Amino acid sequence: MSLPEEDLTCPVCCDIFVDPVLLSCSHSFCRICLKRCWDTGIRECPVCRRKAPKSSPPSNLALKNVCEALLLVKNQCAEALEDKMNCSLHGERLKLFCLVDKQPICVVCQYSKLHKSHSYSPVEEAVLDCKDELALSLKMLQDKLENLKRIQKTSAVMSTYIKSQAGETQRLIRSQFEQLHQMLSQEESDRLAAVKQEEEEKIAGMKDKIKELSAEVLSLTETISVIQEQLKEEDMVLLENFKATDDRSKSFVLGSDNMSGLLIDTTKHLCNLKYIVWEKMMDHIDYTPVTLDPNTAHPCLILSDNLTSLHYSKQPSCCPDNPERFHMSAEVVAMSPLGSGSHQWVVETGSNQDWLLGVASLSVPRNAEISARPENGFWTLCFRDGEFRAMTSPPTPLTLSRMPKQIKVQLDYNKGTVSFVDPADNTAIFTFTHTFTETLLPYFYTQSSHPLRIMPEKVLVTMLRQQ
């Protein structure tokens, strides 16, 4: 094990021991240093002041060997450093730094073919420039390290959040399918009950029919029996009873023998059953043309379970710091990218007194607070402090004849228009005109606890019949 250099230093000259000697007090000194101290007439240890014997102190051979080995290594290092300061090709001092090849050179290298057309600077200046450049690189790497640590920390949070998000999403899926199951189960029960009711009605009708037929059979049997008996009587008796017997036979009228319509109307119950049930379910199922993306919502925005409404809360939710999320302002976008064609959706504003609605470019910054203006990628209508404004540059105040409770947003990407309309009477509020070159997203902002709600649309089913 190597000793620290301070343990190999003479306490008198403060240099590496040269020919060290050992006193009885265990302190060591260079022989010549100890002699100089004792030449003053005081023969004692320069460190602990303990009196030394008159005999010459012995050499500390072990310490001497270690010190000589250390000096040898230091001399070799000095020689190696000296070699590094000289050009390996020409042996000259390296005084210049080639700015092209990024390496030190000597004055002979300066005029060689390899470096003749290059730019140079003195080594002293190059050292300062290189240190500055390395310091800048160090700062960039340190920033990257801090960013990586932040991402690493965020990743751990996101892993936990993903599990929570997956569990909540599965719960909502089960809830919605449970509603569908309940509707189907109710429809199944109703249709089975209808078959059961028809069965009971048909059976009751058949019982009445059988009872009626039984009575008619009995009556007809008795009449036949009377006639047969009359045919056996004497001629005069037959003639006397003929009128009564004939009237009885002719007065017998059979009931209805129509047996149609007595069976279960199977076709009524099974014809296009799945389609009819599906069409009926459409009356209970909402379709919204725009669905909010919870991964973009500011932590203070609360979204509904079906992702069609939002409101502001002063208590932020626990959500990860992912790049898609708006971090500075209470904003959220929908998940439907709009890159061509015509699109529209209606938003119920209700009692909300602080909102912005419209569209935003896909690339708008999520981690900086910027004005919702067209030059920043926003085309929006604003309602704040009781006033409507189109967010142009500068904003355009709008005067409306009445306060709309709903706002229809209409985008025609190909024509380059974003229009805002009062759907109650289709009154135009404002229209932006712009040549769009980037994908757009439906955009929402609010700092009100009253919700903004995307209205569902009625779904129409059209059958295509072959001619």
Q: 321, 297, 323, 325: which is closest to 311 by C-alpha?
A: 297
Predicted TM-score of the model (pTM): 0.63
Domain end: 49, 84, 119, which one?
A: 84
Q: Which domain holds residue 243?
A: 166-284
pLDDT tens figures, 380-427: 999 999 999 999 999 999 999 889 999 999 999 999 999 999 999 999
If one counts the domains in the chain, the total is: 3
What pLDDT is attached to residue 394?
94
Q: 455, 456, 453: which is closest to 350 by C-alpha?
A: 453
pLDDT above 80 (res 78): no
pLDDT tens figures, 223-247: 899 889 888 888 888 888 888 888 8
What pLDDT is attached to residue 291?
96
Domain end: 255, 284, 313, which one?
A: 284
The answer to whether position 123 is within a domain reads no
The answer to whether position 29 is within a domain reads yes
Beta-carbon contacts of residue 82 (< 8 Å; ≥ 6 apart): none
Q: Are residues 353 and 206 in the same domain?
A: no
Q: Are residues 380 and 305 in the same domain?
A: yes
Mean pLDDT of 4-18: 87
The answer to whether position 131 is within a domain reads no
Mean pLDDT of 149-174: 88
pLDDT above 90 (res 261): no
Q: Are residues 259 and 329 in the same domain?
A: no
Dihedral (CA of 138, 140, 141, 146) sign:
positive
User: In the sheet where 452-454 sits, what is the strand order?
Assistant: 301-303, 309-312, 452-454, 342-348, 406-412, 417-422, 427-433
pLDDT above 50 (res 1): no
Dihedral (CA of 99, 104, 106, 111) sign:
negative
Q: Are residues 216 and 316 in the same domain?
A: no
How large a percentage of the chain has pLDDT more than 70?
95
What pLDDT is attached to residue 77?
77
pLDDT above 50 (res 129): yes
- Please give the C-alpha separations between residue 16 and each of 6, 32, 64, 371, in angstroms, as whole numbers: 8, 13, 10, 71
The answer to whether position 410 is within a domain reads yes
What pLDDT is attached to residue 238?
86
Could you please report the per-residue DSSP string of 110-168? HTSTTTTTS-EEEHHHHHHHHHHHHHHHHHHHHHHHHHHHHHHHHHHHHHHHHHHHHHH
Mean pLDDT of 341-367: 95
What pLDDT is attached to residue 355?
97
What whole-number distance in Å separates Cα of residue 452 and Cα of residue 303?
10
The pLDDT confidence band at residue 126, using thresholds 50, 70 and 90, is confident
Q: Are residues 224 and 326 in the same domain?
A: no
What pLDDT is attached to residue 255?
64
Of the ranges 154-158, 209-213, 338-342, which is most confident? 338-342
The answer to whether position 319 is within a domain reads yes
The answer to whether position 137 is within a domain reads no
What pLDDT is attached to residue 257?
65
What pLDDT is attached to residue 42?
83
Strand ranges for 270-384 from DSSP E? 301-303, 309-312, 331-333, 342-348, 354-361, 378-384
Report the CATH number that the domain containing residue 28 is assigned in CATH: 3.30.40.10
Q: Are residues 194 and 229 in the same domain?
A: yes
Q: Are residues 235 and 299 in the same domain?
A: no
Q: 56, 2, 4, 1: which is closest to 29 by C-alpha?
A: 56
439 vs 8: which has the higher pLDDT: 439
Report the CATH number that the domain containing residue 325 is assigned in CATH: 2.60.120.920
Q: Are residues 219 and 266 in the same domain?
A: yes
pLDDT tens figures, 361-382: 999 999 888 999 999 999 999 9
pLDDT above 50 (res 81): yes
Q: Which of 27-31, 271-275, 285-289 has the lowest average pLDDT?
A: 285-289
The pLDDT confidence band at residue 313, using thresholds 50, 70 and 90, is very high
Q: Are residues 9 and 75 in the same domain?
A: yes
pLDDT above 80 (res 461): no
The answer to whether position 393 is within a domain reads yes
Q: Are residues 262 and 398 in the same domain?
A: no
Domain end: 234, 249, 284, which one?
A: 284
Q: Are residues 445 and 303 in the same domain?
A: yes
Mean pLDDT of 168-187: 92
User: In the sheet where 120-122 sits, what is the strand order?
Assistant: 103-105, 96-98, 120-122
**The tokens of 81 are what?**
């450093």
The answer to whether position 261 is within a domain reads yes
What pLDDT is attached to residue 392?
96
Q: Are residues 365 and 260 in the same domain?
A: no
What pLDDT is attached to residue 369?
86
Instruction: Indicate the average pLDDT of the chain.
Output: 89
Q: 66, 65, 57: which is closest to 27 by C-alpha?
A: 57
